[in-house]
């Protein structure tokens, strides 16, 4: 394809897949260019946002009716290589992210005039608008928002990504007025970094940009400055650094002086003020995302929606019962979980995931699972159970259960096994539309950046090919999904 195909992937290593067990099933495997016309797959709706290169509009899937958002880039507004790089950067970054508080993308399209990125539709709109409506938030509400934001930032930083443009306009509410589920968006300014090395490039928005970014060299803690500005605004309704124009605001930011003067700050706790002060300070003294999540003000005030213990136990039982009977079934379930399931269907599981994820890093560790299973069984039994669960559910072998892996294992089987979702998954794997899936089509879906031997993919097909014709028809496909062995 055009501008995106011309870019070579960075930070990739040539991996060699020699056996079926070496295949890593990841959400990014399914975020690919749809070779159909956008208009043949989605019906375009009203505009819900705009940017430098085009609009964001609602769209609905013509077959399922699923409502999503689409970011439309006009090519005539992004002719220069630097502007094209923003588009490529956002797509490449979002493809690899898997966190409950970071926007998920589904697929992308390209035609002669435009480029389309299809993503989750967050009906609640921007946090910026919610701030204007409410004017300010109490400390419990502010902490609830910041806990989710710090979790997303921690996840980004642990994955070597700095956002560089965190602001209320780039934070969406999943539902109107509901601050319990936020999503960080707009990764066009993001970049990869290596811990301990300085980053260059002046990007960001004047109210939220850190002094060191203005100086030209900085590290990932520039994101934490932006978080500090947001926390200040949440508690009082106006920014800590202000002016009549951008030049005046930038001068205020460079000086780094702010106050807690005014009637509204009299009712704000010293702990909250201390947290802000430890974010709006020199980068060398500034809190990291992990430290912010452990700050006394956060631990005292931040409580994400805590699910009923029985619901958590039910999810744990689903993890116990999960068995990846074949690599293809695992891939199909992963596709349905990441590409077909609505935000409504994942809401409760997301809350459970966040309740288990006690350090808020966006993934479940062995220790976090142990803490849950030790509540319902002995230490030795819990240890054995967690070992088995990690072996079954951690399909990308990174030592953790990622968000999508958790959803795949804990999701209601009736949703995963619906005829509608099975048909969507079959059509996605059936690249040439001939109503059967070949080894080559499975390879195209799952190989990713690796190289592999053809026998690996023939083996995957052979495991489930009942009539031995070398391909999988829809009946065989259904049996794979419905098999509970």
Catalytic residue numbers, as ranges: 165
Strands of 120-198, DSSP E: 125-126, 161-162, 171-175, 178-184, 191-192
Tokens of 129: 């608008």
Whole-angstrom distance, CA of residue 350 vs CA of residue 306: 11
Residues 6 or more apart in contact with residue 181 via CB below 8 angstroms:
100, 101, 148, 173, 174, 175, 347, 350
Whole-angstrom distance, CA of residue 79 vs CA of residue 280: 37
How many angstroms separate the first and last alpha carbons of the chain?
Answer: 41
Can you tell me which residue has the tokens 């990869």? 192
Q: What share of the chain is helix, strand, coil (3-state, %, to 5)?
A: 50, 15, 35
Distance of CA 455 to the CA centre of its chain: 34
Whole-angstrom distance, CA of residue 319 vs CA of residue 409: 6
Using DSSP, how many helices (H) and how many strands (E) does the chain show? 21, 18
Does 71 count as an annotated binding residue?
yes
Whole-angstrom distance, CA of residue 102 vs CA of residue 155: 10
Whole-angstrom distance, CA of residue 466 vs CA of residue 146: 52
Measured between alpha carbons, how far is residue 477 from residues 26, 325, 426, 463 in Å?
Answer: 20, 14, 7, 12
Whole-angstrom distance, CA of residue 180 vs CA of residue 295: 20
Annotated binding-site residues read: 71
Which residue numbers belong to the known binding site for ATP?
71
């Amino acid at each position: 394809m055009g501008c995106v195909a011309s870019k070579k992937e960075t930070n990739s290593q040539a991996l060699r897949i020699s056996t079926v067990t070496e295949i890593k099933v990841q959400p990014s495997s399914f975020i690919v260019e749809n070779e159909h016309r956008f208009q043949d797959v989605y019906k375009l709706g009203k505009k819900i946002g705009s940017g430098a290169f085009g609009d964001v509009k609602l769209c609905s899937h013509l077959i399922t009716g699923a409502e999503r958002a689409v970011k439309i880039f006009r090519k005539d507004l992004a002719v220069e290589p630097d502007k094209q790089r923003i588009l490529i950067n956002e797509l490449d970054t979002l493809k690899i992210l898997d966190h409950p508080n970071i926007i998920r993308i589904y697929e992308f399209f390209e035609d002669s005039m435009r480029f389309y990125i299809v993503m989750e539709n967050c009906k609640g709109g921007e946090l910026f608008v919610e701030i204007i409506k409410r004017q300010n938030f109490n400390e419990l509400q502010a902490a609830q928002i910041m806990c989710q934001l710090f979790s997303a930032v921690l996840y980004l930083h642990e994955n070597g990504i700095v956002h560089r443009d965190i602001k209320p306009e780039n934070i969406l509410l999943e539902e109107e007025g509901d601050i319990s589920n936020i999503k960080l968006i707009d990764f066009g300014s993001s970049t990869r970094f290596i811990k301990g090395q300085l980053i260059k490039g002046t990007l960001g928005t004047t109210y939220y940009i850190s002094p060191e970014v203005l100086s030209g060299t900085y590290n990932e803690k520039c994101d934490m400055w932006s978080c500090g500005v947001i926390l200040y605004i949440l508690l009082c309704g106006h920014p800590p650094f202000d002016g009549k124009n951008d030049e005046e605001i930038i001068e205020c930011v460079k000086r780094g002086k702010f106050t807690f003067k005014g009637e509204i700050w009299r009712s704000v706790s010293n702990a909250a003020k201390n947290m802000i002060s430890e974010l709006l300070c020199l980068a060398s003294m500034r809190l990291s995302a992990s430290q912010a999540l452990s700050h006394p003000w956060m631990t005292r005030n931040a409580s994400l929606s805590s699910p009923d213990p029985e619901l958590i136990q039910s999810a744990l039982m689903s993890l116990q019962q999960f068995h990846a009977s074949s690599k293809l079934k695992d891939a199909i379930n992963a596709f349905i979980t990441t590409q077909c399931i609505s935000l409504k269907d994942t809401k409760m599981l997301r809350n459970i995931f966040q309740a288990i994820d006690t350090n808020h890093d966006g993934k479940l560790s062995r220790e976090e699972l142990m803490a849950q299973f030790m509540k319902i069984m002995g230490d030795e039994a819990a240890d054995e159970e967690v070992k088995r669960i990690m072996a079954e559910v951690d399909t990308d072998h990174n030592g953790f259960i990622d968000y999508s892996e958790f959803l795949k294992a804990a999701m209601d089987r009736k949703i995963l096994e619906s005829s509608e979702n099975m048909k969507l998954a079959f059509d996605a794997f059936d690249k040439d539309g001939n109503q059967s899936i070949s080894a080559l089509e499975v390879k195209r879906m799952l190989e990713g950046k690796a190289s592999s031997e053809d026998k690996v993919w023939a083996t995957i097909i052979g495991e489930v090919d009942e009539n031995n014709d070398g391909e999988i028809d829809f009946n065989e496909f259904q049996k794979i999904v419905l098999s509970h062995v």
